Structure 1
Amino acid sequence: MTSGTERALALISEERQRQVDVEGWTPEHDDQHMEGELGDAAAAYAYAGDHSPVNPQDGHGTDLGRVLWPWDRASFKPGAHRHNLVRAGALIVAELERLDRLAGSVQYFVRGMPDGSLELYAADSREALAEYLGGMPVETLTWVERRAAFWMPGRSYSVCAEDLFLEYYSDAPYLGGAARLWPLTFPNA
């Protein structure tokens, strides 16, 4: 890494630690933001400061940063451009940490289908998955290691169960229970 890269990463790391130590935005707090709010907040800071005029009615600007801010407008406090980017980086780290904790908190299972194919699931437990599947006997569900690799049609590489979970649930919140990861289905479909 170049010294510039190291400095930038150090600033982001320091800001992330400040968010935890000073602001109290602990991992437990961050885990409550299951619908991408941390990523939206990062985008808000990254876009902050496009120098749109301040709205005299509420004292806030109309720039895209304020539009993206997921919480109360008064809590959005952008500063200098470089500092905003550091905050954005720290919020991205917080969201990545949250997603990794979530992916590590579930278990992964395969179910053999009558045609010989497999379905891959993520679930809070084997019992939660059995219930999700309509009371299926738990013996028919095989636990797999989260780093177990699967070849997926249409991909030139294998992908692990945890990465499929992260692909799927970076766009849609996982609210617990169970979910099918492969063959892929889309939330709310």
Structure 2
Amino acid sequence: MAADHAAFSETEYAQNAPASLQSVLAERIRQIQIHCFYPEQDEEFVDGDLAIAAACYATEAFVQATETEGAMRIVPESWPWMAVTWRPKDQRRNLVKAGALILAEIDRLDRAAASAQKEERHV
């Protein structure tokens, strides 16, 4: 079994991307194209809003897995935006939304780090 894992490469994984990865990437693209959540706008969320939103959707998925009462009915107190924007769905969809929001936050952090490095070089 260990030999099988050793032969597994990033390229192979990318070429044979599972439905989960494809779904998360498609959701991130949808967030940009349909909802106009452009990377430039993500720069405004410096207080961890994207990560908190992702955590809310992931928590909702957990609640759906463990409870039948209360799931999808209550906007989490930590939801960073207006209540009307809280739109949970089924467990898998909530995890996909969480993954896409995490990607957005990682991208935002990477852009901020690159910008900071660029500024340091010009000082």
Superposed pair shares fold, TM > 0.5: yes
Amino acid at match of 1:87: K
Aligned to 2:6: none
C-alpha deviation, 1:106, in angstroms: 1.3
* Corresponding residue to 1:31 among 29, 39, 43: 43
User: Is 1:99 equivalent to 2:116 in the alignment?
Assistant: no
User: Is 1:18 equivalent to 2:35 in the alignment?
Assistant: no
Task: Tell me the distance in 1 between the aligned counterparts of 2:113 and 2:44.
Answer: 15
C-alpha deviation, 1:7, in angstroms: 1.6
C-alpha deviation, 1:124, in angstroms: 8.7
User: Is 1:53 equivalent to 2:70 in the alignment?
Assistant: yes
Change (3 A) 1:44 1:3: farther
Q: Give the superposed CA RMSD.
A: 2.7
- 3-state SS, counterpart of residue 68 of structure 1: coil
Aligned pair count reads: 106
Change (3 A) 1:9 1:52: same
Aligned to 2:53: 41
Task: Tell me the distance in 2 between the aligned counterparts of 1:28 and 1:3.
Answer: 29
Calculate percent identity across the aligned residue pairs. 35
- Give yes or no for contact 1:13–1:90 (8 Å, CA) kept in 2: yes
* Corresponding residue to 1:69 among 55, 68, 79: 79
Structure 1 or 2, whichever has the larger Rg, is 1
Aligned to 1:9: 21
TM-score normalised by the chain length of structure 1 = 0.49
TM-score normalised by the chain length of structure 2 = 0.74
- Give yes or no for contact 1:106–1:125 (8 Å, CA) kept in 2: no
Unaligned residue ranges in structure 1 (runs of 5+): 55-59, 109-121, 127-189
Aligned to 1:85: 95
1:131-173 deviations in Å (ceiling 9; x for gaps): xxxxxxxxxxxxxxxxxxxxxxxxxxxxxxxxxxxxxxxxxxx
C-alpha deviation, 1:105, in angstroms: 0.4
User: Which has the higher relative contact order, 1 or 2, with Cα contacts under 8 A spaced 6 or more apart?
Assistant: 2
